[in-house]
Amino acid sequence: MHGHNYTLLAKVHGQSEEWLDFEEIKKTVDELVDSNYDHRDIGNMTCERLARQIQEQLKNQFKSMVKVELWETGKFGVETL
């Protein structure tokens, strides 16, 4: 078994009157990643599937459109639409 160190960028979209505080966004994303993915066996999940799963979870948390970039290496990553 081997692990990966991913880099995650989450973009939360909304109207200016709906904007959340950056610290609240960071806290929510960190809690989601730490509780569900950090030091966990995610099986044979691809980077693409993992990005889509994280996107759906964050959309549910923020009740807003979320785009996710998930980088497996410095050169290779995916972006959800």
Judged against a pLDDT cut of 80, whether residue 18 lies above it is answered with no
In sequence order, which residues have a C-beta less than 8 Å from that of residue 27 and are 6 or more positions away?
none
Judged against a pLDDT cut of 80, whether residue 3 lies above it is answered with no
If pLDDT is split at 50, 70 and 90, which confidence band does 46 have? very high
Judged against a pLDDT cut of 70, whether residue 15 lies above it is answered with yes
Reported pTM: 0.90
Name the burial class of residue 71, with classes exposed (0-12), middle (13-18) and buried (19+) by CB atoms within 10 angstroms of its CB: middle
**Share above pLDDT 90 across residues of the chain, in percent, rounded to a whole number:** 69
21 vs 78: which has the higher pLDDT:
78
